Structure 1
Amino acid sequence: MAVPARHTSKAKKNKRRTHYKLTAPSVQFDETTGDYSRSHRVSLKGYYKGRKIAKANAAK
């Protein structure tokens, strides 16, 4: 059975784990609606690249 040759210290383990992190989603300001939305996605009001392409979802 495989066994580690040396004990992995807490510092070594934590340094390795520093690269596991979340990245903030890219958000862009939409001048048509005045809201922030994610790039390459339809806004909540139904706009994409400044054009109305879908009906907006009604808030329930």
Structure 2
Amino acid sequence: MAKHPVPKKKTSKSKRDMRRSHHALVAPNLVECPHCHAKKLQHHICDSCGYYDGRQVLQVASA
């Protein structure tokens, strides 16, 4: 029967938590669109109006 690798020592809570220190979720950084004042992600095209950097780059169908 094959032996499987197992930890030699129990991982401490400190080591476990230090390893997980980069796993936190980060809230998206929302800014106001200067054209339509809707919330949008920084450095992304506005979903509401299709503007980016002061010019229209996407045709948005009006509902």
TM-score of Structure 1 vs Structure 2, range by shorter chain: 0.5 to 0.7
SS of the residue aligned with 1:28?
strand
Unaligned runs of 5+ in 2: none
Q: 2:46 aligns with which of 20, 43, 47?
A: 43
Aligned twin of 2:20: 17
* % identical equivalent positions: 29
CA offset at residue 56 of structure 1?
A: 0.6
TM-score of the superposed pair, with normalisation by structure 1: 0.64
Q: Number of residues paired by the alignment?
A: 58
Runs of 4+ in 1 over 6 A off after TM superposition: none
TM-score of the superposed pair, with normalisation by structure 2: 0.62
CA offset at residue 38 of structure 1?
A: 0.7
Matching residue's letter, 1:47: Y
1:25-40 aligned within 5 A: 25-40=28-43
Unaligned runs of 5+ in 1: none
